[in-house]
Amino acid sequence: MADIGKKVFARFVPEALRSCADGAPAGTGTSRGEGRHVRIGSLIVVLLLVASVAHGQAPPGVMRGLDGAMMARVDGGGFQMGRDLLPGERADLMLEAPRHVVDVPTFFVDLTEVTNGQFARFVKEADYTTQAENDGTSSVWRGGEWVEVKGADWMHPEGPGSSLDRRMNVPVVHVSYNDALAYAKWCKKRLPTEAEWEKAARGTDARIWPWGNQPDPSRADCKERGIPSAMPVGSFPAGASPYGCLDMAGNVREWTLDYLNAYPGGAPQPELYGKRYRVVRGGAWPQSLADQRSYRREFRLPKHHESLTGFRCVWSETTVKAP
């Protein structure tokens, strides 16, 4: 534990110190007054880190990544992944069964989805062009259906005429799996494995949603809540996971690192499983709370991009490459 603390400290704290000196990370739209609070908050985090590492202890549970995102520590150990089949359910139609224990090494996970402000900084510094921009078109969820819109991309979420005005703290969308990988590589992080994502969302007590086992529309941007868009990240603090991760139910659904494959003991589905689809998790704002259960698995082709899917990143001492 002490080793990982020192290595994460070495990698993250210099950037946190720069953030203290420079103010808030670029693109967050923070005002001067808010910037002072960010600087004070960052300084407190850094001082806590210095104190804990100086005493040879593991770092506290939250730190700042190279992209400015705050990250929560998820201690290594086993958790219950997936769920059991209910009476009458067909195993060959249920991607999320059977429930099984997965041992996950310690990692750090973004508290929120990657925002437009953070992605804008990446695009500027890396001179990056997304898949949707190259394609010249993307899918927009409009009026309860998918519409293919020419000119829709991360900077124009509803197509030409739309913009990121007042949306810099809203999750970036119209990003493919490969776009998400590129962002993660830029800030020396990676996408979460499915197991990491699910553990960050539901902890170790096999709960259904990040906050517990009761469906509660006040805790997520979901269909039942009735908000017709994604919201600024962290708008539902009562929906935090056991590790403090926000919007893991709803807002935008999130790419994970893994291909869609059967769980141990799961029924074969040759038309779905294999090196084809990447898993997305958590559901999006037009989806019901049932679709936002933390064990639920959706999947998309890695080149896929549309207005409801974004991502968050993780960092760990162990190297994990995309399968």
Chain residues that interact with Ca ion, rule: CB under 5 A: 247, 251, 282
Query: Which residue's Cβ lies closest to Ca ion?
Result: 282
The three-class DSSP label of residue 207 is: coil
**Is the CB of 153 or the CB of 247 nearer to Ca ion?**
247
CB of 251 to Ca ion, least distance (A): 4
Q: What are phi and psi of 109, to 5 degrees?
A: -130, 140
CB of 273 to Ca ion, least distance (A): 24
**Is the CB of 45 or the CB of 207 nearer to Ca ion?**
207
Token readout for 282 is 């958590």
Residue with tokens 């935008």, as numbered in its chain: 252
DSSP H or E run through 181: helix 177-186
CB of 89 to Ca ion, least distance (A): 26
Cα separation values, 218 from 165, 213, 246, Å: 26, 14, 13
**Is the CB of 12 or the CB of 312 nearer to Ca ion?**
312
**Is the CB of 266 or the CB of 282 nearer to Ca ion?**
282
CB of 133 to Ca ion, least distance (A): 23
**Is the CB of 5 or the CB of 282 nearer to Ca ion?**
282
Handedness of CA 260, 263, 266, 268 (dihedral sign): positive
CB of 227 to Ca ion, least distance (A): 14
**Is the CB of 247 or the CB of 258 nearer to Ca ion?**
247
Q: SS3 string of 12-66?
A: HHHHHHHHHHHCCCCCCCCCHHHHHHHHHHHHHHHHHHHHHHHCCCCCCCEEECC
CB of 91 to Ca ion, least distance (A): 28
Number of other CB atoms surrounding residue 37 within 10 Å: 12
